[in-house]
Structure formats: C-alpha cells, structure tokens
Amino acid sequence: MWTRKAVFYVGFGVILVLFAPFINNLQLFLLGTTILGFVAVHSLVNTRPIEVKITRDFDDDQVFENSGVSVDLVIQNKGRPVGFLEIYDNLPSEVEVSKGLNHTILRLRKDELVVNKYSLECRLRGQYRLGNPRLRIYNPSFLFYYEADVESKSSLVVLPQIEQIEWTIDLIRSIHLPMLYVGGGMDHALGVTCSSPWAAGLTIA
C-alpha cells in the first residue's frame, strides 16, 4: 500500500514531467523522471509478507469489575529480518489501557522474540473477545507498506464484584415469599381458601 510520502513524490514527479515541456526545461523533466523511477524501484523492495507469530498471555483471564489485568503480547519472527514493524493490538471498547501501550514499533531479527507488556482496566462486567493484532511493515524508504491481521484471538471474562453478589443474595433472602402448604394451596398473604380435604372451606386471613 502507498504512504502519503509516496503519493506526494509521484504527484510531484508527474507535475515536473508534464510541466517541463511547456517551459522547454530539460532539467525539470529529468528530475521528474528520476523521482518517478525512484518510487517505482522502491515499490518492489521489502513489501512482501512476513512470517510473524503473535500470542497473548494474561496473568488471569477471569477478573472482577474495576480491576486490572496484565497482558503480554508475545511477538516471534519466524522469517526474514524486519527493519520497521508496527503492531497494533485490537481491543474491545469496554476495556481501557491503564499502563503501557497496545501499540508498538520495533525491529526484528530472524527468529527473534519480543514481549510487549501492558495492563488493562476492566470496568464493565461481561465476556469480551480480543481481536486479531494488526501489523504493518514499511520498506526502507517508507514509501510503501504491507498490512495484515495475524490470527490470535483471546477471551477475557469480567465478573461482578463480590460485594454485588453478596448484596443480591441478601436481597433474595429478605423477600418474604408466600407460604404454600402441600396439598392445601393456602397463601398467608392473600387469604386463599384452603382446598385440602381436611380443612375445606377454611379461610386463612
């Protein structure tokens, strides 16, 4: 893919090539041709795909609300050396990066392994899916780049806080449910006439 720098160079070169004949200036024409040739040559340099494996490691994949979790983004180069590699870890909008960065720029030698550490703040309960990390590699002139997603999905479960769970249990226990007798169908709260054979017609208030 083209960077803004490459677009500018091509546009500038085309303008020189088209404008030079009108003013009969050979130097501008040669300069424009040189710029276009430079861009054409660098479009073939170091923009082919690379072999990079990316995995995530959590210190705990089940955490409580308003607590943090540490993430290790393990990047391993299994192919040729990479001069300039940009990696962005896709995260759900419900979590926030509290320490470090989920975006890194690095240089990888062949078979080199690098670990990028950052921490997440989990404020909302739920089960979240962390998407595939995205990598971008630039050629030496930064005119072109190759971009791709690396298959590495992970799940993170955020549980309710213990205080909220205990409050819910206490609330359920505090509710006085109607007492029903087996076979009688009596309700202390509503005053239903008992239908059991041994107390027929008895009204409970």
DSSP type of residue 97: E
Which residues, in sequence order, are bridge partners of residue 72? 57, 117
Location of structure tokens 């739920």: 126
* Whole-angstrom distance, CA of residue 79 vs CA of residue 77: 6
Q: What are phi and psi of 108, to 5 degrees?
A: -120, 130
In angstroms, rounded to a whole number, what is the distance separating the alpha carbons of residues 56 and 29? 53
pLDDT at position 46: 59
Q: Starting at the edge strand that comes first in sequence, how are the strands of the sheet with 154-159 ordered?
A: 62-64, 154-159, 126-130
What pLDDT score was predicted for residue 186?
42
Asked if residues 117 and 100 have their Cβ atoms less than 8 Å apart, the reply is yes
User: What mean pLDDT comes out for the span 166-177?
Assistant: 56
Look at residue 166 in the predicted model and tell me its pLDDT: 55
What's the token pair of residue 7? 């677009």
The angle, 0 to 180 degrees and rounded to 10, between the axes of the packed helices 26-42 and 4-23 is 160
Give the pLDDT score at 156.
85
Q: Which amino acid is at 22?
A: F
More confident residue, 115 or 47: 115
Average pLDDT (162-179) is 56
pLDDT confidence of 176, banded at 50, 70, 90?
A: low
Average pLDDT score over the chain? 77
**Per-residue pLDDT for 29 more than 70?**
yes
Confidence class for position 165, pLDDT limits 50, 70, 90: low
Residue 33's pLDDT band (cuts 50, 70, 90) = very high
pLDDT band for 187, please (50, 70, 90 cuts): very low
Q: Does pTM top 0.75 for this prediction?
A: no
Q: 71 or 80: which carries more pLDDT confidence?
A: 71
Say if strands 113-122 and 67-77 run parallel, antiparallel, or are unpaired.
antiparallel
